[in-house]
């Protein structure tokens, strides 16, 4: 079946602009996660949804970052007033449950802020 998909695959934007990154999880998966990965580092947790609600947003670096999942399926990560330090690969993952269940990752969106 279809895996986790993310769009766009690449996004180049200018400093100060607003961007939206989309994640389509595996159908039926109730849990959805956003991670950010910088070059040479492991993925860093940003936010976790259980259904439509954000169960844990402790990883969001500041209030410029926001994510929604209005219908409990597709999620959008929104970044306002982008900074060059936001450049990274943004990964989305989904899982059937929320505890130790296997997480399925998408290919990521590479964001470059110039």
Using the minimum distance from each CB to other proteins, give the nearer residue, 48 or 86.
48
Tell me whether the omega of the peptide bond preceding residue 8 falls within 30 degrees of 0, making it cis. yes
Our CB check for other proteins shows the closer of 50 and 76 to be 50
DSSP per-residue string spanning 20-61: EEEEE--TT--EEEEEEE-TTS--EEEEEEETTEEEE-TT--
Is 77:23 a contact under the CB 8 Å cutoff?
yes
Give the interface segment with other proteins, choosing from 13-21, 28-36, 61-69, 80-88 (CB under 8 A). Answer: 28-36
42 binds other proteins (CB under 8 A): yes
Which residues sit at the interface with other proteins, rule CB under 8 A?
Answer: 4, 31, 33, 35, 40-45, 48, 55-56, 59, 91, 93, 95, 98-108
């Amino acid at each position: 079946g279809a895996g986790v998909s993310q769009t766009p695959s690449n996004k180049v934007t200018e400093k100060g602009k607003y961007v939206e990154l989309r994640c389509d999880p595996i159908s039926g998966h109730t849990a959805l996660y956003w991670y950010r990965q910088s070059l040479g580092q492991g993925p860093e947790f940003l936010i976790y949804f259980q259904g439509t609600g954000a169960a844990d947003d402790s990883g969001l670096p500041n209030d410029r970052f926001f994510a929604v999942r209005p219908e409990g399926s597709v999620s959008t990560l929104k970044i306002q007033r982008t900074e060059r330090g936001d450049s990274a690969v943004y990964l989305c993952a989904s899982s059937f449950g929320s505890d130790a269940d296997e997480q399925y990752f998408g290919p990521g969106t590479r964001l470059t802020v110039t």
